[in-house]
Amino acid sequence: MTDDRAHPNRSRSAAAFERAKRVLVGGVDSPVRTFAAVGGEPVFIRRAEGPNVYDVDGNRYVDLICSWGATILGHAHPAVVEAVRRAAADGLSFGACCEAEAELAETIVGAIPSMEQVRFVSSGTEATMSAIRLARAATGRSRIIKFTGCYHGHADCLLVAAGSGAATLGQPNSAGVPKAYAEHTLIVPYNALEATEGVLLAYGNDVAAVLVEPIAGNMGFVPPVEGFLAGLRELCDRCGALLIFDEVMTGFRVAWGGYQNVCGVRPDITCLGKVIGGGTPVAAYGGPRQIMRLVSPEGPMYQAGTLSGNPVAMSAGLAALRACREVGFYDALDAKCHMLTQTLVQSAARAGIAVHAQGLGGMFGLAFSDRIPRNLDDAQACDAKRFRAFFHAMLDRGVLLPPSPYEAMFITAAHDDSAIGHVLAAAEEAFRSAAA
C-alpha cells in the first residue's frame, strides 16, 4: 500500500484510462465509472480480496462500492471462488439445463414467500423489463407507474423523467427513446402515496403495474416512509394493477430474502440480482405460479437468454447464499452498518458538517444535508460540492466510495474491525478537509 496517503501515485490508472478512451465509449462500460459526478479520473482495479480492492498502481482501498452491493461476503470469498472453479472445470456454459438452476431457485423460493417460481436472467435490466412485460401480459394493460429517483435499468420505458407536473406522462430522458414508449410510463415522486392514488384514479384502468424500489438506492439510501409500501399494495389491489418490487439491490442484501421480509408487504412480482449471483452476472424475476405460468414455454409471454442459468453463475450464487443463511449473518452485518453510519454522523458533526446517514443490513447512504432525504428533490438538494471534496479526500486516504452523491454504499461480512476502523479514521480527516 502506498505510504503517502495525501498524494498517492495513480499514473498507471491515468494511462489505462487514456488507452481505454480510444476503444471504449468514454473509456468505460458504465457511465458512473467515469468520475464525472466527482471530477478527476477513475482508478483502474487490478484485483480485490476481502474488504479491499487494489488498483493498477498498487494502492489499496477499503471498498464501499462492493460491486454495487453484489459482493456481500467480500471479494474473492474462498467458498464462492472454489464453487466457480469447480463449475468452470466442467464447462462455462451449456445453453442447456443444469441441476444448479433448480437448486438456486429452490433456495430463493424458500426465502421469499411471495415467489413460487422464478426465471433467471443475466442482469437487473433484463429482470425489470421482463417483469413489466409479464405484468402487461397478466393484466392486458399498457401503462406502468414508476417513481422519480428509482433506477430500474436501461430499458426504453424506464429511461423516463417527469414532465411539467408532479405526476405526469413521462418524457424520454435519453436519446433513442421514442416519446410513445415514454408515454406509457407514469411518473410519481417517491414516498408520495397521495400522488400515486391520484394517478391511479386518472389512469387506473390502464395501469398494468406499479414498479418500486422498496428502498431507493439511487438517490443515496432512501427508505420508504411509514405506510408507503402498504399503501401501494392496497392501491394496486383496488385498481387491479400488479405491484412489482425491484429488489435487485436490496434482495438478500438488507435481510435474508429481501426487504419485503422486513416490511411485511408482499408484491406480485419480485426482481432480484447482485447478491444472488455471488458477484457473477445473475438476476431473476418471479412470483406466484398463476402469474409465472404466463411465461414461455408455459404461456404466451416470450423471454429467453443464452447465458441464463449458466452453471458457473448458478454455482457462485448458491455458495454465496449458503454463507448468508448462517445464523446471525444479517444481524452482525446490520450491527456493523449501524455503528459505521452513526460514527460517521458524529465525525461530520465534529467538523461542523451536517450529514445524515442511515442503512440496513450491509447497505447505507450518506447525505450531506441537514435533513433526511425522502425523495429525489431532497437528494438533489444535498451538498454535492462537499460530497466531491469528501470523496477525493477519502480516496487519497485509501477508501473507495461510489463516485456519485446519489448512490448507496455497501459493506460486506469481510469488513472487519480493521477495515471499518480505517474508514472511520479516514473520514475523520476527510470531513475536516471537506469543511475547509
Residues identified as active-site = 151, 246, 274
Q: How many CB atoms lie within 10 A of CB 435?
A: 14
Contact 376, 213 (CB under 8 A): no
Backbone dihedral region of 134: left (phi > 0), alpha (psi from -120 to 50 degrees) or beta? alpha
- In the Cβ-directed half-sphere of 398, how many Cα atoms lie within 13 Å? 21
356-360 and 207-212: which strand pairing?
unpaired
Q: Which residues, 6+ apart, have CB-to-CB distance to 380 below 8 Å?
A: 219
d(CA 362, CA 331): 10
* The 3-state secondary structure of the chain, one letter per residue: CCCCCCCCCCHHHHHHHHHHHHHCHHHCCCHHHHCCCCCCCCCCEEEEEECEEEECCCCEEEECCCHHHCCCCCECCHHHHHHHHHHHHCCCCCCCCCHHHHHHHHHHHHHCCCCCEEEEECCHHHHHHHHHHHHHHHHCCCEEEEEECCCCCCCHHHCEECCCCCCEECEECCCCCCHHHHCCEEEEECCCHHHHHHHHHHHHHHEEEEEECCCECCCCCECCCCCHHHHHHHHHHHHCCEEEEEECCCCCCCCCCCCHHHHCCCCCEEEECHHHHCCCCCEEEEECHHHHCCECCCCCECCCCCCCCCHHHHHHHHHHHHHHCCCCHHHHHHHHHHHHHHHHHHHHHHCCCCCEEEEECCEEEEECCCCCCCCHHHHHCCCHHHHHHHHHHHHHCCEECCCCCCCCEECCCCCCHHHHHHHHHHHHHHHHHHHC
